[in-house]
Structure 1
Amino acid sequence: MVRKLLNVTGLLLAPFLQLMAQSQYELNSGWACANVSDVTVKGEALSSPTYGLKGWLPATVPGTVLTTLLNNKLVPDPFYGMNNERIPDIYTTGRDHYTYWFVKDFSEATPAADGQVWLHFRGVNDGCDIYLNGHRLNATTHYGTYIRHSYNITSFLAKDGKNRLAVIVYPPAIVGNPNGGQGGDGTIAKNVGPQYTAGWDWIQPMRDRNTGIWDKVTIEKTGAVNVSNPHVVTLVPGPRWPDAKQAPATVRVSAELDNATAKSIAGTLRYTIGGVTVSSKVTLAPKAHTEVQLPDLELKDPKLWWPAGYGPQHLYQSKVEFVENNKVDDTEEITVGVREIRTFWNAHTRSRELSVNGQNIFIKGGNWITSDAMFRFTDERYDAEVRFHRDMNLNLIRIWGGSLTERPEFFKACDKYGMLVFQDFWMSGDCNGRWVDPMKKEDQWTRRQYPDDHRLWINSAADQVKLLRNHASLAFWCGGNEITPPKDIFDVLADSIMPKLDGTRYFFHYSNTDSMSYNMLGGNGDGPYNWQPLNVFWNERTWPFNSEVGSVGVGDLESLERFIPKENLVSPENKKGGVDSVWDYHKYIPYFNSLDPYGKPKDIRDWTNKAQLVNYDQYRGLMEGFSSHMWDWYTGVIIWKTQNPWTALRGQHYDYYLDPNACLYGNRTGAAPVHGMINPTDGTVFIVNNTFNYYHDIMLQLKAYDMKGNDTLITQVFCEIGPSNVQKIMNVKNFLDKLGEKEGVFLAVRLIKADKTVMDDNLYWFPDAKGNYSGLQNMQAAKPRITATKSGNDIHVKISNPENGPLAFFNRVSLVDAQTKKRILPVFYNDNYVSVVPGEEKVVIISGDAIARSGKAQVTVSGWNLAEQVIEIK
């Protein structure tokens, strides 16, 4: 996005700076607020530091109005039970009910000489007017959830340095009827903002439609010249290898400069990365705005950035600065990952294929809504959620179009953990008219032209491209979820914004467009979205780059207890009326009869424990099924979906409270970089290699175990497999059918390296000839020895299963508070829901900053045939 300088009533406006400048701080505490009906004066009077604020509420900024009301105990937690029904909806109350004034007093003196002070807003939903010390800063009301705005407040600062900022925030102009449809009646999409706030099939409506100063407000101090919107492009020609000495990379940098003074200024713009600097001399006319392109910089033997699973994520700290008379006016610090992303059309699969640094990447992704449905964002939460995706052995996150362009802090975590990002813009097939929908207020032709203000949408898109384009993790832009924007918007986006403001990333017209994935004859499109027999994932061909496919995702009992009242913790039954009303309100999707082969659940705890077996099997099967057809049927798959920003009972690998369930670990196993696996429907064994390494002598070991722990070696054979490849090895269906006919059987599929260490360990459980897990239902109790030891900042939990006994099957390891016995969250397990065969041991490593903050902790371990044990940490 080219930053434009507008002169409105003497004010200098410019989009907010993405990166920490020479002197910048956030206004994130000490705010007060009041409903518009309780404020009798205008903004000029209210913003006077002497005006009293008696009776005003402490406000949460960044945050929504609903967040502030919740924090003041004026509304119940909308994430718990049926509480959301107790909160008035804006469609019924009218917009004034959620129209609020926000006031912040802060200290900032008028700068000396040519110094400038800027006020930046990174996100307000949806409209606002802004006042400082008796002056209105914006000549016309600001609109748009996403577009940033900024004001030069130097001349309006109080002489004594005591300032007051007053902001009135208006809800979206069209709030929409939350009638139960996707996006309610669809009219929420007439605004330039998130559509899910009127409700979706994974969330109930956000009653204030997320009105508020939802993103950061900052003060920045610069010299006479302000540096903004730096653009860093890295060119890495030719195929590269992570561990090799690298040929040079080229770094191209530009930045925009604003001379805020009434005099001409001469100086130097310079950029530094990896100890190398390039610069250009610049002369700026009074009040001038210009964009400067620096000479290309050659970075020798660069340390490259790779997606997760393929290599390290090296990041350079770099900076752009403007210098005049040996004085730095402004510095913009930029974290840079040196990499080059390209895409190609795979004529065999008829789908898009991605390469990073000249190497093809098989996409294993997860769909993401947003971190929190009430926009309560923190760096720590972003880091934890993205780390969970890395731990699932995924390499891409798609940001769904009914929500946000995600925040820089999210992208920072993706840069850190090697997660590529597929970023939709703010359209959806549901609200924006792709389908006939009786829940929608207006017809498809009308909805096809949403939003009402196309120019605002275009300006917002341009602004967000500039905000995010420097992140190494950002791989794709996309016009919208399952539909393109209207033609005039699309043309500007495709022909102007993308080539001029980015030019380095592929732009998909919409999320399942033919340019991404051609719906071949016999293909079924996106989905499925619920529990499926495993043969669907393995044997039924779908879109060759499937942007949405998923299954169930209910957590265990401890997870449900966090948001479902005790009286509603009733096991669902697969019949009409068999689902509790609170479960239904929280968007439960059925497991059908998938739990029954394990034995009819006895109670809710038994139900949730058996659901974890289904969860694990579903997502392991999904990732294995797609991987088995890598480069033949598929170039990528993106799970719908891996997380919930609300307490929904569907499609999640960890709950809203950051507690993983078995989906995460089944996915982790099925998506392992080098992996041995079996098609459970026909007994064919495969090895898949999602790395750049060539493996010559790896041993494939197949060993079956009966319910008593007796083992049968089926085969042990040396194999080799090339980079980014899948190989069919053999078929063992007859062995398994015979061994498991009466009670079912376990199958351990292992890959063993030349040094005899296990590189991949995958345990399957197969039913008996009737399709029931009769053997599991009658297993003897396991008697493992379990220890927990503190090792540095981590905790090592060792589970040792003695010989001459059964497997210790499907054990959940938890770090808990010693007093409450509730899980400490978030922490990270290198594996979980682990099984240990007789005569062996496994170590589960627990890590995360919450360990140090938790006080006295213990470890609990419980499994299918292991009663819960509490382990002291030594």
Structure 2
Amino acid sequence: MTTFTISRFLSLFICTLFGHALLAQSQYELKAGWMSAPISQVKEKGEAISTSSYSTAAWAPAVVPGTVLTTQLHNKQIPDPFYGMNNERIPDIYTTGREYYTYWFAKDFTESTPQKGEQVWLHLRGVNYSSDVYLNGRKLNEKTHHGMFLRQTYNITPYLAKDGNNRLAVLVYPPDPVGKPNGGQGGDGTIARNVTHQYVAGWDWIQPIRDRNTGIWDKVIIEKTKQVNLKNPHVITLVPGKRKPNGPQQPATVKVTAELENPTSEKIRGVLRYTLDGKTVSKKVSLPANSTQKVALDDLVLQNPKLWWPNMYGPQHLYPLHLQFLVNGKTVSDEETVQVGVREIQTVWNERTRSMQVNVNGQPIFIKGGNWIISDAMLRFSDARYDAEVRYHRDMNLNLIRIWGGALVERPEFYEACDRYGLLVIQDFWMTGDANGRWVDPLKADDQWTRRKYPDDHGLFLRSAADQVKMIRNYPSLAMWCGGNEITPPAGILTALQDSILPELDGTRWFIPYSNADSMSFNTIGGNGDGPYTIQPISQFWAYRTWPFNSEVGSVGVGDLESLERFIPKENLVAPQYLGKDHKPSEKVDSVWTYHTYTGVGYEQHILPYGAPTDIRDFTRKAQLVNYDQYRALMEGFSSHMWDWYTGTIIWKTQNPWTSMRGQMYDYYLDPNAALFGLRNGGEPLHVMFDPVDSMVMAVNNGFEMKRDLMLVATAYDMAGKSTSLGQLIVEINPSTAKKYFPLKGNLRRLGNEKGVFLSLRLLDLDQNVISNNFYWLPNAAGNYTGLNELAKAKVHVTAKQIEKGKMEVTLSNPATNTVAFFNRVSLIDPQTNERILPAFYSDNYISVPPGEQQRITVEYTPVEGAASPAITVEGWNVEKLTLPVTTTGSAGR
């Protein structure tokens, strides 16, 4: 089906549903066919440029949505700034001056002259930073528009060309000031004088974006309506009481308001109505000429509702709500559709932990979150990339994403993905302690007191905040607002946000003054309420009590060799050399690694127990052992103290929008490293685990139901593959509880004294199905993993078969005569290039298979029409790499 056919089908369907002949409303995006030129090469004014007689033949094709850099990259005017040291070859705006990156963008489009009663609207969802907008020789904005986060809408009905051939021209200016990229967080900090994102001047996980992301960075949309424009609908759901995901539900209440804009010179009467779950609510409305009016409809009591739950706690049901305005109750003027998740989020102070506790539908939700920067540092957003990244967070068994304050309010498509996958969202506003003056900082241009007043235009900040609240407030995944990262906004902004803007425009969500405020997590330890950030001894996560709702903790994530090869030149693929003595870390690191923000602090102490790396491949495979162990231990340690020490934790950070080498579960190219799967394992909703501090076997139940009749089985394996039973026990565990069962200390010390030992913990149901499977590798008495380096090769049998389109099943079988087949990475590859297919979603990975057993995982991806059938590779610590095709019947390897 073509796009036109789909649109027409939907229009006819809705018309039939509501008994009307044809919908007046439609919209389309102005995407392809844009042209661009730097202002230095254009002498004419916007009035002339925006006429069809002006030739843009000498201009270059432009990327919209995009930035000046994405346009230059598309036209091969610059090298890929994400590869090697290429970013150093691109002129920085601080050096060139703002005019260098001030650009014209022009787009020709066809739109017929509106018929009587029709209105045509131009929407610019995001321009960074300032813009003048012209259409067919007319300037649409009387004054230059400022602000990255303030949408623009123009009624262009009177300005459309009679012959239907129109030209839109937009002059885009960079932020002012642009900030000096001097190596500080946000450079010299002056980028924060604007209402824009701050990371573009550089941070400790990214180099500066040379144009500061100047451009038409978000969608440009033409919308057609009849006389009245329906906009900014607002849907609130109330779910009283304490609910469970299954069974009959008591009623929920749905509250709906919307704004109606009448741009005509006549009073208009009509009906505002919506339909939800087969029920219709309507209200008669009279709109004065040239007015905008907010209309509240009667509440709808939804019987036996299907509720929306966070990931791991229940399904994410969404109801389509169709909202329309009908002129005189007959002709559809405009309509909007909102996907409604029926849920209610409450926050209560937990006196035991002294931190905020998040409840959804009356149930306590132990927060397992990840800090998110932005999907792409150069703002190259797509629905597919959003879906993949949010799905990875779901697959990590997380239930929350915090959007960091140095970036932006994400695009609606991001929240749609969070709605689908059950990820709650904390949305920061655009403040950071680094640039906005929390600390004295010699790298900053202004003193602390001056920076505390940033941005320069408080009114623009507040208008932008109100606009963005309206844009995303209907998404059920959006759970909390936050004033800023590690700092409150200036007093006037803070007061307006918490006392007027949010109560008036939202009113249902918790507002946190800043990301580590005492009202979120009472800080009795001192410091900022964040961290630690470096690699920790495994026992630290279990024994050291940190902040009770920690907004930022943890930071490793170097990828494997295949990941590094994508952005580091071959000559720079050199493993760090460890020079430390007397347990003091010291490294010699390649300059390209340093440029891509490699931080080795801690890797040395944790890699050396496996043996000093012999080359880059050896380094990266040992790094994966560290990654897996770190993030499994982090989530297990926090979960072991659920509701006792903690109400939640948020990892710093889970993804990178640039080719950085720190704080990530998957790389910029969407290739997961072992950290993702260690976190997935440690965050299971029902999970068996080993406390390394007191050697206790534990289990944690995050759910709302008692778990009974489970068999807990503990088994040790030595380096030859010999197994020793360490005990088994029928167990039960209460809802939302972590519980200790029995110790293993003496047995483990004896079995692993010289070479270390493998520990397998499992929970089985009455049918002996594995409910939770956890496999540890433990060091010897000296803290080294000497036994791993003596493991005999294990020849495993592998099958790979397609079970449905885009989904295959891989089975690893380890004969009983083998030792443990340890730490195997399964990869889906293109057999023609031998490169990994990305993104791909694995039910598990970096898996170990004891002798006489097998492990089965599924792999999902999106097939490309005409592409070769994929293949599978398997490679482990003591398993040689093998490649085999995927067939419909299964194929066997060694």
Q: Quick check: TM above 0.5?
A: yes
Task: Work out whether residues 576 and 587 of structure 2, in 8 Å CA contact, stay in contact via their aligned partners in 1.
Answer: no
What CA distance in whole angstroms lies between the structure 2 residues aligned with 1:574 and 1:482? Answer: 34
Task: Give 1:559's aligned amino acid.
Answer: S
1:125 maps onto 2:128 in alignment: yes
The alignment of Structure 1 onto Structure 2 pairs a total of residues equal to: 855
What CA distance in whole angstroms lies between the structure 1 residues aligned with 2:676 and 2:257? Answer: 41
Task: Work out whether residues 24 and 332 of structure 2, in 8 Å CA contact, stay in contact via their aligned partners in 1.
Answer: no
SS at match of 1:594: helix
Task: Give 2:571's aligned amino acid.
Answer: E
Deviates more, 1:727-736 or 1:140-149: 727-736
1:205 maps onto 2:208 in alignment: yes
Structure 2, gaps ≥5 residues long = 1-22, 580-585, 888-894
Counting only pairs closer than 5 Å after superposition, residues 403-414 of structure 1 correspond to structure 2 as: 403-414=407-418
What CA distance in whole angstroms lies between the structure 1 residues aligned with 2:544 and 2:25? Answer: 56
Task: Give 1:323's aligned amino acid.
Answer: L
1:639 maps onto 2:622 in alignment: no
Task: Work out whether residues 406 and 432 of structure 2, in 8 Å CA contact, stay in contact via their aligned partners in 1.
Answer: yes
Of 195, 198, 206, the residue aligned with 1:195 is: 198
Task: Give 1:641's aligned amino acid.
Answer: K
SS at match of 2:609: helix
Task: Give 2:310's aligned amino acid.
Answer: P
What CA distance in whole angstroms lies between the structure 2 residues aligned with 1:85 and 1:67? Answer: 16
Q: What is the Cα deviation at residue 804 of structure 1?
A: 2.1
What CA distance in whole angstroms lies between the structure 1 residues aligned with 2:361 and 2:598? Answer: 42
1:484 maps onto 2:488 in alignment: yes
Deviations 1:391-446 (A, max 9, x none): 00000000000000111000000000000000000000000000011100110000
What CA distance in whole angstroms lies between the structure 2 residues aligned with 1:232 and 1:239? Answer: 21
What CA distance in whole angstroms lies between the structure 2 residues aligned with 1:748 and 1:93? Answer: 60
Q: What residue in structure 2 maps to residue 12 of structure 1? A: none
Task: Give 1:287's aligned amino acid.
Answer: N
What CA distance in whole angstroms lies between the structure 2 residues aligned with 1:553 and 1:805? Answer: 31
Task: Give 1:627's aligned amino acid.
Answer: S
Task: Give 2:633's aligned amino acid.
Answer: G
Q: What residue in structure 2 maps to residue 665 of structure 1? A: 677
Task: Give 1:565's aligned amino acid.
Answer: P
Q: What residue in structure 2 maps to residue 848 of structure 1? A: 861
1:156 maps onto 2:159 in alignment: yes
Of 710, 716, 738, the residue aligned with 1:698 is: 710
What CA distance in whole angstroms lies between the structure 1 residues aligned with 2:525 and 2:315? Answer: 39
Of 20, 25, 28, the residue aligned with 1:22 is: 25
Q: What residue in structure 2 maps to residue 399 of structure 1? A: 403
Structure 1 residues 21 and 102: CA distance shift in structure 2, 3 A = farther
What CA distance in whole angstroms lies between the structure 2 residues aligned with 1:68 and 1:216? Answer: 15
Q: What is the Cα deviation at residue 54 of structure 1?
A: 2.2
What CA distance in whole angstroms lies between the structure 1 residues aligned with 2:191 and 2:795? Answer: 57
Q: What residue in structure 2 maps to residue 578 of structure 1? A: 588
What CA distance in whole angstroms lies between the structure 1 residues aligned with 2:140 and 2:785? Answer: 69
Deviations 1:781-809 (A, max 9, x none): 11111011011121111101111210111
Quick one: percent identity of the two aligned structures? 63
What CA distance in whole angstroms lies between the structure 2 residues aligned with 1:98 and 1:167? Answer: 14
1:611 maps onto 2:623 in alignment: yes
Deviates more, 1:20-29 or 1:725-734: 20-29
Of 217, 235, 253, the residue aligned with 1:232 is: 235
Structure 1 residues 633 and 737: CA distance shift in structure 2, 3 A = same
Task: Work out whether residues 370 and 645 of structure 1, in 8 Å CA contact, stay in contact via their aligned partners in 2.
Answer: yes
Counting only pairs closer than 5 Å after superposition, residues 255-266 of structure 1 correspond to structure 2 as: 255-266=258-269
Q: What is the Cα deviation at residue 304 of structure 1?
A: 0.5
What CA distance in whole angstroms lies between the structure 2 residues aligned with 1:311 and 1:851? Answer: 32
Of 816, 827, 831, the residue aligned with 2:844 is: 831
Task: Work out whether residues 524 and 541 of structure 1, in 8 Å CA contact, stay in contact via their aligned partners in 2.
Answer: no
Of 455, 460, 465, the residue aligned with 1:456 is: 460
Structure 1 residues 770 and 861: CA distance shift in structure 2, 3 A = same
Task: Work out whether residues 236 and 256 of structure 2, in 8 Å CA contact, stay in contact via their aligned partners in 1.
Answer: yes
Of 442, 449, 459, the residue aligned with 1:445 is: 449
Q: What is the Cα deviation at residue 737 of structure 1?
A: 0.5
SS at match of 1:423: strand
Q: What residue in structure 2 maps to residue 800 of structure 1? A: 813
Q: What residue in structure 2 maps to residue 273 of structure 1? A: 276
What CA distance in whole angstroms lies between the structure 1 residues aligned with 2:279 and 2:864? Answer: 40
Task: Work out whether residues 827 and 850 of structure 1, in 8 Å CA contact, stay in contact via their aligned partners in 2.
Answer: no
SS at match of 1:548: strand
SS at match of 1:488: helix
Q: What is the Cα deviation at residue 855 of structure 1?
A: 2.2
Q: What residue in structure 2 maps to residue 719 of structure 1? A: 731
SS at match of 2:364: strand
Q: What is the Cα deviation at residue 225 of structure 1?
A: 0.5
Task: Give 2:335's aligned amino acid.
Answer: T
Structure 1 residues 577 and 705: CA distance shift in structure 2, 3 A = closer
Q: What residue in structure 2 maps to residue 180 of structure 1? A: 183
What CA distance in whole angstroms lies between the structure 2 residues aligned with 1:578 and 1:209? Answer: 32
Q: What residue in structure 1 maps to residue 63 of structure 2? A: 60
SS at match of 1:761: strand
Counting only pairs closer than 5 Å after superposition, residues 469-868 of structure 1 correspond to structure 2 as: 469-521=473-525, 525-575=529-579, 576=586, 578-590=588-600, 591-793=603-805, 794-850=807-863, 854-868=867-881
Task: Give 2:384's aligned amino acid.
Answer: E
Task: Work out whether residues 798 and 811 of structure 2, in 8 Å CA contact, stay in contact via their aligned partners in 1.
Answer: yes
SS at match of 1:183: coil
Task: Give 1:831's aligned amino acid.
Answer: D
SS at match of 1:595: helix
Deviates more, 1:652-661 or 1:787-796: 787-796
1:94 maps onto 2:100 in alignment: no
Q: What is the Cα deviation at residue 712 of structure 1?
A: 0.6
What CA distance in whole angstroms lies between the structure 1 residues aligned with 2:869 and 2:287? Answer: 61
What CA distance in whole angstroms lies between the structure 1 residues aligned with 2:334 and 2:436? Answer: 42
SS at match of 1:644: coil
What CA distance in whole angstroms lies between the structure 1 residues aligned with 2:347 and 2:605? Answer: 42
What CA distance in whole angstroms lies between the structure 2 residues aligned with 1:840 and 1:688? Answer: 25
What CA distance in whole angstroms lies between the structure 2 residues aligned with 1:21 and 1:308? Answer: 39
Task: Give 1:580's aligned amino acid.
Answer: D
Alignment TM-score, normalising by the size of structure 2: 0.95
What CA distance in whole angstroms lies between the structure 1 residues aligned with 2:863 and 2:323? Answer: 36
Q: What is the Cα deviation at residue 526 of structure 1?
A: 1.1
Q: What residue in structure 2 maps to residue 14 of structure 1? A: none
What CA distance in whole angstroms lies between the structure 2 residues aligned with 1:351 and 1:572? Answer: 41
Q: What is the Cα deviation at residue 763 of structure 1?
A: 0.2
What CA distance in whole angstroms lies between the structure 2 residues aligned with 1:672 and 1:138? Answer: 53
Deviations 1:224-247 (A, max 9, x none): 011000000000100111011111
Q: What is the Cα deviation at residue 110 of structure 1?
A: 1.4
What CA distance in whole angstroms lies between the structure 2 residues aligned with 1:703 and 1:22? Answer: 65
What CA distance in whole angstroms lies between the structure 2 residues aligned with 1:853 and 1:629? Answer: 51
SS at match of 2:415: helix
SS at match of 1:563: coil
Task: Work out whether residues 703 and 748 of structure 1, in 8 Å CA contact, stay in contact via their aligned partners in 2.
Answer: yes
SS at match of 2:635: helix
1:214 maps onto 2:217 in alignment: yes
Deviations 1:491-512 (A, max 9, x none): 1001000110000000000000
Q: What residue in structure 2 maps to residue 16 of structure 1? A: none
Q: What is the Cα deviation at residue 272 of structure 1?
A: 1.1
Task: Work out whether residues 21 and 333 of structure 1, in 8 Å CA contact, stay in contact via their aligned partners in 2.
Answer: no
Q: What is the Cα deviation at residue 694 of structure 1?
A: 1.0
What CA distance in whole angstroms lies between the structure 2 residues aligned with 1:524 and 1:36? Answer: 45
Task: Give 2:430's aligned amino acid.
Answer: W
Of 416, 421, 430, the residue aligned with 1:417 is: 421
Of 371, 375, 378, the residue aligned with 1:374 is: 378
Task: Work out whether residues 517 and 544 of structure 1, in 8 Å CA contact, stay in contact via their aligned partners in 2.
Answer: yes
Of 39, 49, 67, the residue aligned with 1:36 is: 39
Q: What is the Cα deviation at residue 574 of structure 1?
A: 3.2
Question: CA RMSD of the aligned region, Å?
Answer: 1.1
What CA distance in whole angstroms lies between the structure 2 residues aligned with 1:648 and 1:598? Answer: 25
Q: What residue in structure 1 maps to residue 72 of structure 2? A: 69
Deviations 1:730-761 (A, max 9, x none): 21111110110111100001011122100000
